[in-house]
Amino acid sequence: MSLPYRVTDSIPFQARRWLRRLVLLMAAVAVIASVGPVSMALQEDGEEVEPSSQRRHGDLVRIFTGDIHVPADTVRHGMILCIGGDVVIEGEVTQDVTVILGSLKIDGGEVRQSVIGIVSKLDLRDAEIRGDLINIIGSMTEDNLYVGRQNFNLGNLGAWVPGLMTVLTWFRVLGLVLVFILLVLLVAIAPDRVRLIGAETPVRYVSAFFVGILVYCALLLVVLPIAAGTVIGLPIFYLAYLAFKWLALAGMFYAVGRLIGRVFGREMSPLGAVLLVYAVYSLILLALSPLGLVGLGLISAFRIVFFCFFEVPAVGLVLLTRLGTRASPGPAPAVGYPGTAVPVSPSPPPPPTAPPPVEPPGPVDLPGAGVNSTPPNDPSEDRSD
């Protein structure tokens, strides 16, 4: 006995459509979880259509089972979901088209809603998309494409997921920015220590080099194993090492930058001298970054040279100057002129003192003489010539 009408006819159209999409989603999740291929072709209202028909109704879903083709002069009333397959649209689709881990080709076709590609290859030529176009981690080729709303493109897999050289370049840029901020803070907080280290650089460079070698050996053999034994010991040790090292490097940059400024007839401030040399250091690293493997090799060679002639003496200067608080005994040489002592201007001579005024001699009072008596004659005057 058959019912005079179907039960589903009593459900509104929108409710039936969302209920059907929920069932499809649950089925897709269940199939993917069980790694079993599924192929479904749901027809709206249970209507079967012939392949030669110009209108086809119902949502079309393929999950790891095959491809989907919408021929020209054909209207697909429903959405298309394809996982692990190829979709070719030459006609018209009235609902969304979603392709995951596959490819989508629209050649002269039209999609009235949105097109979503996830880790897929999109080839869109003479295509019209009235909704949104969303490409997530996939390649996309377009020619004469119309998008009605938003075109959201994250790029292809090779460009969106950066390569090793790109990652290294961005980390290098980030490190240079952080060191720039650290140098500005050190010069602003302790300018006197930077000046003292800069003054001691030409005097104690050789001794600081050997002291730095000893310090690095001690760090690798003693301090580093002890600091690595705790959770927060290694990060604290590394941050302290960076602060001490770049404090001494700021002093060395100040000495070199001030020398460069004097060559051009200018007296550089501590911050200006430090940033001048650091700018040269940064430009060398950034200029070699786009050269690929060759640039990576040149950067490695440059870092080795910088480590030997700048970082090792810098660590030694930190200890010899006691963090830039103690200078070497004796007159310090002029910054930027190695081996030349600072000229000491002679002190001006004291002004001559005026002699006290001499009073003229008055009459001499002799005992027993009156006031108007004259002094006795000099015996020398009585001698005859």
Q: Is 348 part of a structural domain of the chain?
A: no
Cα angle: 279, vertex 280, 285; to 5 degrees = 95
pLDDT band for position 4 (cuts 50, 70, 90): very low
For residues 353-357, average pLDDT: 62
| Mean pLDDT over each residue of the chain, to the nearest integer | 75
Q: Which domain-ending residue is among 115, 137, 160?
A: 160
Whether residues 256 and 284 fall in one domain: yes
Q: Which domain-ending residue is among 120, 137, 160?
A: 160
Whether residues 141 and 251 fall in one domain: no
The structural domain count of the chain equals: 2
**Least confidently predicted of 64-78, 192-206, 233-247:** 233-247
Among 358, 367, 190, 365, which residue's Cα sits nearest to residue 274?
190
**Least confidently predicted of 263-272, 287-296, 315-324:** 287-296
Whether residues 170 and 301 fall in one domain: yes
Whether residues 138 and 200 fall in one domain: no
Q: How many residues does the structure list for the chain?
A: 385
**Least confidently predicted of 158-162, 313-317, 326-330:** 158-162
244-288 pLDDT, tens digit per residue, is: 889 889 999 999 999 998 998 888 899 999 999 999 999 999 888
Whether residues 148 and 245 fall in one domain: no
Q: Is 29 part of a structural domain of the chain?
A: yes
Q: Is 222 part of a structural domain of the chain?
A: yes
**String of DSSP letters for 279-328:** HHHHHHHHHHGGGHHHHHHHHHHHHHHHIIIIIHHHHHHHHHTTTTT-PP
371-377, long-range: CB < 8 A, 24+ apart: none
Can you say how many angstroms the Cα of residue 114 is from the centroid of all Cα atoms in its chain? 37
Give the range of the structural domain holding residue 145, as residue numbers without chain letter: 7-160
Q: Which domain-ending residue is among 130, 160, 190?
A: 160
Among 107, 273, 265, which residue's Cα sits nearest to residue 201?
273
Say how far apart CA 324 and CA 73 lie, in whole Å: 83
Q: Is 1 part of a structural domain of the chain?
A: no
Q: Is 216 part of a structural domain of the chain?
A: yes
Whether residues 153 and 211 fall in one domain: no
Other beta carbons within 10 angstroms of residue 85's beta carbon come to 19
Please state the pTM of the whole predicted model: 0.46
For residues 352-366, average pLDDT: 57
pLDDT reported for residue 217 = 87
Whether residues 219 and 124 fall in one domain: no
Which residue would you say has higher pLDDT here, 344 or 213? Answer: 213
Whether residues 147 and 212 fall in one domain: no
Q: Is 353 part of a structural domain of the chain?
A: no
Whether residues 175 and 288 fall in one domain: yes
Whether residues 118 and 217 fall in one domain: no
Which residue would you say has higher pLDDT here, 229 or 194? Answer: 194
Whether residues 34 and 106 fall in one domain: yes
In this model, does residue 305 exceed pLDDT 90? yes
Q: Is 328 part of a structural domain of the chain?
A: no
For residues 210-238, average pLDDT: 76
Among 14, 98, 88, 96, which residue's Cα sits nearest to residue 63?
98
**Residues 56, 60, 66, 67, CA torsion sign:** positive
Q: Is 240 part of a structural domain of the chain?
A: yes
pLDDT > 90: what percent of the chain?
22
Whether residues 113 and 174 fall in one domain: no
Which residue would you say has higher pLDDT here, 367 or 282? Answer: 282
